[in-house]
Amino acid sequence: MAAASATTLSVGSATTFGSILSSKSQSNTSAVKYNTRNYLRNFSGLKAEAFVRCESESSFLGRESAAALRQSITPNAQIGKQKSWNHVWPQASYKVAILGAAGGIGQSLALLIKMSPLVSSLHLYDIANVKGVAADLSHCNTPAQVVDFTGASELANCLKGVDVVVIPAGIPRKPGMTRDDLFNINANIVKGLVEAVADNCPDAFIHIISNPVNSTVPIAAEVLKQKGVYDPKKLFGVTTLDVVRANTFITQKKNLRLIDVDVPVVGGHAGITILPLLSKSKPSTTFTDEEVQELTVRIQNAGTEVVEAKAGAGSATLSMAYAAARFVESSLRAIDGDADVYECTYVESNLTELPFFASRVKLGRNGVEALISSDLNGLTEYEQKALEALKPELKASIEEGIAYAQKGIVTA
């Protein structure tokens, strides 16, 4: 979907970078540097970097993982037989805050973001138990500096100067829990955290993970409007997990190479509002009617699949952290000047009559640069019917979130 980024990641005792950088990255003074003659299209599926080489066998990846990475390297198109390379020294220069960093998603997400070469400072916030997470994570030999913040009194300091805020805070879905149960608790949590974001880093990209995303993103939008700092281009519902699952399930079903597979997923982020557009999948793949229905239903119910498999011990924390890390990395690449970054995400939209809608978007320095409307053209009869069927449910969730924020209800 997106081209490889301008920066790279390799962790070891003697590593070097090579890439095209924004002026902001060039001006930073971090000592970590990378160099290679190979392009890496994708780091662990996060679509994070170009030019990666694991020069040290003491890398945290280990020999087998490093070998696997090398096998996934494919060169970009070269002009003629040109063998010269322009090398500059990129530096980590962005601050990311995770609100809810001590939770099941937050801890794994923090680890993945700590690995990003674009992150200079990682701020971890939670109401309790975050100091130990930060201490543990700070021992990882990657450039990002980890700082912990505990409780409401430290939230403002956590957010000052942050470029990207990620909000996984809230309770996970448990067996037997209704959507209303989840909404009544998480809506208030998101409302309070977004108020703090509006007061302390109103220009930051805001990534909402807390469910139900179909409602919590409209809540966040209303809070930002009330604060006079709403920028629809910078507010995102993280639906990347639906894409990750679609890519994985289709790869398994059709025996494809995972690195080649990309499926746009539109609509919302719950049940039937999740609509994978299998007819738009890349590479172009033929599905029977039975396969379309089977894959669509599995992608829509994948969260329940994990909840039931964990038998009350949790929800989809690891895959959600992985997907969120991919979206954070894409956002940072866009902020850093990469002109070819595309992701599916739930945003304010005019692609349908609904005020919010998940679709593929082009990301840039200032957030959403374009909504990719072409994905909704030429849908199959099955997809068109599914699109119309999801709209009433998604509309109700959006209206519920807006009404909650406008009334200022405190429930949790």
CATH code: domain 94-238 is 3.40.50.720
**pLDDT surpasses 50 at 333:** yes
Angle, helices 240-254/318-335, rounded to nearest 10 degrees: 110
Output the pLDDT for position 91: 57
CB 100 within 8 A of CB 124: no
Percent of the chain with pLDDT over 70: 75
Rounded to two decimals, the pTM is 0.80
Q: What is the mean pLDDT of residues 251-278?
A: 96
User: Which carries the bigger pLDDT value, residue 231 or residue 53?
Assistant: 231
Tell me: cis bond preceding 392? Omega within 30 of 0 counts: no
Predicted local confidence at residue 71, as pLDDT:
46
Instruction: Give the pLDDT confidence score for residue 298 in this predicted structure.
Output: 97
Whether the CB-CB separation of 370 and 347 falls below 8 Å is answered with no
Spatial CA neighbour of 32 closest among 59, 57, 5, 2: 59
Out of 97-111, 171-185, 280-294, which region has the weakest mean confidence (pLDDT)?
Answer: 171-185
Could you identify the residue written with the tokens 């919010």? 356
Q: Model confidence at 294, in pLDDT bands (50, 70, 90)?
A: very high
Which helix H or strand E contains 122, and what residues bound it?
strand 119-126
Tokens of 113: 């973001």
Has residue 198 got a pLDDT over 90? yes
Average pLDDT, the chain: 82
Where residue 226 falls among pLDDT bands split at 50, 70, 90? very high
Q: Is the pLDDT at 65 greater than 60, yes or no?
A: no
Residue 72 has pLDDT above 60, yes or no: no
Overall average pLDDT of the 35-60 stretch: 37
Question: At 174, is the pLDDT very low, low, confident or very high (cuts 50, 70, 90)?
Answer: confident
pLDDT-based confidence at residue 410 (cuts at 50, 70, 90): very low
Range(s) of the chain covered by CATH 3.40.50.720: 94-238
**For the residues 151-165, what does the mean pLDDT come to?**
98
pLDDT single digits (tens) 186-197: 999 999 999 999
Best CA proximity match to 295, nearest among 284, 314, 283, 281? 281
Mean per-residue pLDDT for 271-299?
96
Instruction: Give, for 384, the enclosing helix (H) or strand (E).
Output: helix 381-407
The structure tokens listed for 400 are: 């519920």
* DSSP string across 236-292: EE--HHHHHHHHHHHHHHHT--GGG-B--EEE-SSGGGEEE-GGG-BS-----HHHH
pLDDT of residue 307: 87
Q: Which residues have a Cβ under 8 Å from the Cβ of 391 and sit 6 or more positions away? A: 352, 353, 354
Q: Please give the pLDDT value at position 178.
A: 66
Say which amino acid occupies 186. N
239-394 under CATH 3.30.70.260, yes or no: no
Residue by residue, DSSP assigns 283-320 as S-----HHHHHHHHHHHHTHHHHHHHHTTTS--S-HHH
User: How many Cα atoms occupy the beta-carbon half-sphere of 301 within 13 Å?
Assistant: 9
Q: What is the mean pLDDT of residues 260-283?
A: 96
The two structure tokens encoding residue 76: 């970009």
pLDDT in tens, 339-394: 999 999 999 999 999 999 999 999 999 999 999 999 999 999 999 999 999 999 99
Q: How far from 40 is each of 18, 120, 173, 223, 335, CA to CA, in Å?
A: 12, 22, 36, 40, 20
List the one residue out of 264, 230, 267, 249 whose CA is nearest residue 385. Answer: 267
pLDDT beyond 50 at 27: no
Q: Where in the chain is the domain with CATH 3.90.110.10?
A: 239-394
* Burial label, 107 (beta-carbon count in 10 A; 0-12, 13-18, 19+): buried
The average pLDDT across 63-67 equals 43
Query: Annotated active-site positions, please?
Result: 269
> Is the confidence at residue 179, as pLDDT, over 50?
yes
pLDDT above 50 for 279:
yes
Confidence grade of residue 311 (pLDDT, cut at 50, 70, 90): confident
Q: Is the pLDDT of residue 338 over 80?
A: yes
CB within 8 Å of 411: residues ≥ 6 apart: 184, 185, 187, 188
Between residues 408 and 166, which one has the greater pLDDT?
Answer: 166
Taking every pair of Cα atoms in the chain, the longest distance, rounded to a whole number of angstroms, is 65
